[in-house]
Amino acid sequence: MKIIFLGIGEAFDENIPNNSHLIITEKTKLLLDCGMTAAPQVWKFNPAPSFLDAVYISHWHADHYFGLPGLLLRMWEGGKAGRTRPLTIISREGFKEQFKKLMQLAYAGFQEKFKYEIKIIEVKEGEELEFQDLKLSFQKTVHSGENLAIKITDGKKTITYNGDGSPISGTDFYKNLDLLILETYLYDKEIIGHSSVVSAIKFAENNNVKCLALTHMNRDFRKNELPKIRDKIKGGKVKIIIPEPMDEYNI
Ligand SMILES: [Zn+2]
Ligand SMILES: [Zn+2]
C-alpha cells in the first residue's frame, strides 16, 4: 500500500494545503478528504479525470470537503477526454442530502451534465464496507462536528486516518496498525476536539501502532515552534513522521 500525503495542513494555513491523503493499492485509488485547498494537490499528483476510484469524507467541515465540487467538475469538463466511469463517495449518514446542497451552492445545474455517475455510500460507526480490494470500517472521534475515522485494510496492511478529533481509546479499532494518520493541533496543550503531539504519541504507543504520521498542526505552531523541537519528537517503539505535502510512504 502506498500513501501520498497530498496536504497535511489545518483549516486556515496559507502555506500548507488541507489535510488530504491518497491511498494506492493494487486495485484502488482512494482519496481521503478533499478540503478547499486540497483538490489542486490531486491534480498535481495525477490530472487524469478517471484517476480516482473513490473519495472518503470524514466530516463536513470546509477544510475536509469544500474541494469536492471543483474536483468533480474538473473530471467532467475535459470534453471527450472527460470521465465516464462511476465515482464513489463515502461519508456518514445524511451525506446524500448534504452533497446535493453543496453542489447546488457551488455549481448549480452542472451535475446533470456529468457523463459519469456519482455513487454515494453512507456509512455508520461500527459498520464494515468492502470496496474493491479494501475493507473499510469506521469509528467516531471527539470533534466539534460529527467525524468518522476510517480504517483501511487490503488484507496485508492496515492504516487508519482519523479525520479530525481525538481518537476514542478502549477499543480494538486502532490496535496494531501499520500506519496511523492522526490529526494534532499543538505540542502538549490539549484542546477539546483535537489531539496534541504528546497525546497522539502516547495513544499510538498504547495501541502498538508501527508508524504515526502527525498532521493538521496549527499553522503558527508548525511554522514557529516545530522547527525548534522537531528532533525531540520521538516515540518509543513507534516510528513518528511529520510529512510534508506530497511526501510518499510505503507500507
Ligand atoms: Zn480539519
Ligand atoms: Zn473539523
Ligand nearest to the CA of 61: 2
For ligand 1, the distance from its centroid to the CA atom of residue 108, given in whole angstroms, is 26
Q: Could you count the other beta carbons within 10 Å of the beta carbon of residue 129?
A: 14
Helix (H, G, I), strand (E, B) or coil at 247: strand
Show the cell assigned to 50. Answer: 478517471
Full pLDDT tens readout for the chain, 251 residues: 999 999 999 999 999 999 999 999 999 999 999 999 999 999 999 999 999 999 999 999 999 999 999 999 999 997 788 999 999 999 999 999 999 999 999 999 999 999 999 999 999 999 999 999 999 999 999 999 999 999 999 999 999 999 999 999 889 999 999 999 999 989 888 888 888 999 999 999 999 999 999 999 999 999 999 999 888 888 788 999 999 999 999 99
Give dist(CA 50, CA 29) in Å, integer. 10
DSSP for residue 155: S
Q: How far is CA 103 from the centre of its chain?
A: 20
Q: Could you tell me the CA-to-CA distances from 127 to 70, 123, 145, 155 in Å, in that order? A: 29, 7, 20, 17
Ligand nearest to the CA of 19: 1
For ligand 1, the distance from its centroid to the CA atom of residue 47, given in whole angstroms, is 24
Q: Could you count the other beta carbons within 10 Å of the beta carbon of residue 250?
A: 9
Judge if pTM exceeds 0.85.
Answer: yes
